[in-house]
Amino acid sequence: MPVVLLGLALAVGACTAPLDEAEVARRAAASRPTWASYQEDVKGQIGARPVAEWSATLEEVRAGTDGIRVTFRLKGPWADREAVLPVMMRDDLADARLPASALREGPRVTYVFAPATSAGPPPAWIELRYPRHERRIMLSSSGTWRASD
């Protein structure tokens, strides 16, 4: 009986061991969550622990002819990781989508979403899904939003 308990303890310990940074980066890059099940998808595709460690403050949204840029200031372990966790966006013009690219600048990450159309006014609003959050942002007539200090 003690051998069975020891084996069980070792198996549980192996399942909860933290992932190395290279594996977190590989999983984050390969992650393709869907809008309907975003929260479950990122945890299942990247890992519950690294997703639970993701913490950020939304700083700015800017819509332009080159797309919609959404900037977060990362906190905790993700501020030092090179990996970029996928977030999702949808607006009043198009279906939900993943970013076309993500730019890291220290603890900031800017997600760039391809424009829904090639011309026309910026969207009136966007919705974002990121770990533990769903948020609707109303954009100004110039297509911007900035967090108040």
The pLDDT tens digits for 38-49 are 999 999 999 999
Q: List, for residues 59-103, the tens digit of each pLDDT value.
A: 999 998 889 999 999 999 999 998 999 999 999 877 899 999 999
Per the structure, the complete domain to which residue 44 belongs is given by: 33-146
> CA–CA separation, 35 vs 53, rounded Å?
21
Question: Residue 22 above 50 pLDDT?
Answer: yes
Predicted pLDDT of residue 73: 98
Number of domains in the chain: 1
In a domain? residue 50: yes
> CA–CA separation, 44 vs 55, rounded Å?
18
In a domain? residue 10: no
In a domain? residue 135: yes
Q: Between these two residues, 17 and 79, which has the higher pLDDT value? A: 79
In a domain? residue 87: yes
In a domain? residue 86: yes
In a domain? residue 13: no
| 139: CATH | 2.60.40
Predicted pLDDT of residue 19: 81
In a domain? residue 47: yes
Please state, rounded to an integer, the average pLDDT across all residues of the chain: 88
In a domain? residue 6: no
Token code pair at residue 26? 């590989």
